[in-house]
Amino acid sequence: MVLFLGQIFRLSHGQDPPSSESNMSKVVRIIDATLREGNQCHGASFNEKNSPEIASAIAALGIDMLEIGHPVCSAQEIRRIKSIVELDLGCPILAHSRAHAKDVRAVAETGAQWIGIFVGINEISQKVRISNRQTNQIIKMIKDSVSLAKELGLKVRYTVEDASRTPDDILLQAYSEAINSGADRICYSDTLGILEPNEVCEKISLLKKHFPEIDIEVHFHDDRGLAMANALAAVDAGANWISTSINGIGERSGITDTCAFIANLTYRKKRKFLHLDQLKKVSRLVAAHSRSFVDPRRPLVGKNAFHHKARLHAKAIEKDESSYNWIAPGIFGLTSTTHLPELPRELDKLINIPKVIPASELKYHTDGPGLRYVMVDERFVPDSRQYCIVRKIGLVKGVIAPHVDAHRHDCDSLFMFIGAHENLTGLAVEVQLGDEIFPIKSPSSVFIPAGIEHSYRVIAGEGIYVNHVLSGCYNDSLLEGKLTS
């Protein structure tokens, strides 16, 4: 059936497309799996506290569906997913499930509208992922789990895990079973990131030939650096849902990057996203909470993505931005840069005399007790990528007012307390970390992971306080918005 353009564009973000949407005119949709696949990235700990903020920020980009977590894992995981469902972001929520009844029931308990059931069916899956099951038994698991999910009122996405290493006949059999049992969408997963774009094209064309009506999602891992190329090849071959994550985080080398994929769709004039100027902000937020920091070369959101160093390039960019940018950075609220400060080559310029500067130069701070010596930041050493201050605290008598409000950085930082007495004793402080307050005596250090709210105040004694932040500019490293008040 032919759809008129107007009909396509009336499908607003978050709504399920009508099932009659014809294949040729299907809009490319994004399911962002940061809070599921991304949670499997080393360093990530998306929890009940930070997940709602992250989910809201991602949904606000105009994403079509959010994949949140794996509820059967724990009661805590169920609560985390529920807390996002309850936000009612206007964007359907999908939760992950093996093809087991208890997993399916756990998803139903979260209130998520969609379930993503996955099961591998190839030889290696039978050997190590779901041991001691034959192909026909796995086919039955697909039928039973999809049917149960439908009975529980869920919309179902069914994924063949490791689809790219599964023989075509078995692959088609698995998807047929899922569709006949009521699956609303199928997902092709290149779990190991082994496919190349021409193979993706073949596989998706095969699925389209056999299942012309059903929505097809693809999930590409980036182990060979091909996740983006494969996603675009899949779109060209007719896949209409792409699974992505912010900064591409996930198992190992991760998956297709949400922001870069949105930029690619924009470049191709495939779809209009309304809040492109928020991409970098969301990238920073997720980088902080996953402690998976963005490489300067990452497309779109990396520090160097629109930086031009060679003199010829810089000159050309100053005349016309399109000379060396693939897309106009302004669309994303970004600007081209040409002359970023560089680390000095002369070694003596790396030695600094500290300057006394009151802390009110920082957001969330007033001057506070004693003198604050700035030891290093990018004003002292261009491109230092570090900030360090020392505060000399004279003997505290009586109660002193706090001078730092709770705040968070997009990078890790450190507090050190060094008392003026023997063995570095002699200073008592109180440190807020997340929701908790800790009374602390010197000598001590407090490691502050990126994204964690923190502050401190001096209680008694005398000594030195050191703050070290892994950013050359304190104020630029702050994440706006606070989790608690």
Residues taking part in catalysis: 313
> Which of the stretches 5-13, 177-185, 187-195, 459-467 binds ligand HCA when contact is defined by CB under 6 A?
187-195
How many residues sit in the footprint of ligand HCA (CB under 6 A)?
12
Output the smallest distance, CB 219 to Cu ion, in A: 6
Work out how close the CB of 221 gets to Cu ion at its nearest, in angstroms, rounded to a whole number: 6
Mark 248-267 with x for binding to ligand HCA (rule: CB under 6 A) and - for no binding: ---x----------------
Considering only 181, 191, 230, 278, the residue that binds ligand HCA (CB under 6 A) is 191
Which residues bind to Cu ion, rule: CB under 5 A?
37
Alpha carbon distance 36, 54 (integer Å): 12
Q: How far is the CB of 221 from ligand HCA (least distance, A)?
A: 6
Residues 118-137 interacting with ligand HCA (rule: CB under 6 A): 118
Using rule CB under 6 A, residue 189 touches ligand HCA: yes
Q: By CB under 6 A, tell whether 453 contacts ligand HCA.
A: no
**Smallest distance from the beta carbon of 249 to ligand HCA, in angstroms?**
12
Among 50, 125, 145, 159, contact with ligand HCA (rule: CB under 6 A): 159
37 binds ligand HCA (CB under 6 A): yes
Residue 156 touching ligand HCA (CB under 6 A)? no
Pick from 55, 149, 186, 187: which binds ligand HCA (CB under 6 A)?
Answer: 187
Which stretch, 185-193, 208-216, 257-265, 391-399, contacts ligand HCA (CB under 6 A)? 185-193
Minimum CB separation of residue 60 from ligand HCA in Å reads 24
Residues that bind ligand HCA in the complex, under the rule CB under 6 A: 37, 40, 116, 118, 159, 161, 187, 189, 191, 219, 221, 251
